[in-house]
């Protein structure tokens, strides 16, 4: 967890992605990080739906990273299954750019979808508390 805290603190910008409940968690975590003075972003719904229409849903977050991602930025990827093509494409693109990546995939810890989404928020809240205490 200390490594994640260091990543968040030194990152230029933090981008958080997810689908469904994980997308809601991404927005929640981004808000919490902003409260700690960390520039954290999720993709606006109007852009998300426009890019899904123009490029295909599997490319929405990849396209976002291509447009704004830079070395030194952090991508936090949330996925209950760890199999969502749009998440995996974004992670691959972030690697190519030289971004740091932190991912919470339910499949990595043998969790079901609900447990994975609960873990996302728990870890997000722990990071927020640590950042507030470190200030």
Distance in angstroms (rounded) separating the CA atoms of residues 13 and 29: 14
Q: Phi/psi of residue 41, each to 5°?
A: -135, 145
pLDDT digits (tens, 9 = 90+) for 12-49: 789 999 999 899 999 999 998 888 888 889 998 899 99
Q: How confident is the model at residue 108 (pLDDT cuts 50, 70, 90)?
A: low
Percentage of residues in the chain having pLDDT higher than 70: 92
Q: Residue 90 is part of which domain span?
A: 2-134
Find the mean pLDDT for residues 123-129. 85
**Torsion of the alpha carbons at 78, 79, 83 and 87, rounded to the nearest 10:** -40
**Total of domains in the chain:** 1
CATH of the domain at 104: 3.40.50.10490
Strand extents, DSSP E, the chain: 14-17, 40-41, 74-79, 100-105
State the CB neighbour count (10 A cutoff) for residue 64.
Answer: 23
Q: Is the pTM of this model over 0.75?
A: yes
């Amino acid at each position: 967890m200390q490594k994640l805290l260091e990543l968040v603190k030194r990152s230029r910008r933090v981008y958080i992605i997810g689908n469904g409940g994980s997308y809601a968690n991404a927005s929640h975590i981004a808000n919490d990080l902003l409260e700690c003075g960390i520039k954290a972003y999720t993709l606006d719904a109007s852009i998300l739906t426009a890019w899904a229409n123009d490029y295909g849903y599997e490319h929405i977050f990849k396209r976002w990273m291509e447009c704004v991602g830079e070395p030194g930025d952090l991508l936090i990827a949330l996925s209950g299954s760890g199999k969502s093509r749009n998440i995996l494409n974004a992670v691959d693109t972030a690697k190519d750019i030289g971004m740091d990546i932190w991912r919470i995939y339910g499949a990595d810890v043998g969790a079901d979808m609900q447990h994975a989404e609960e873990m996302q928020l728990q870890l997000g809240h722990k990071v927020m508390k640590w950042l507030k205490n470190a200030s």
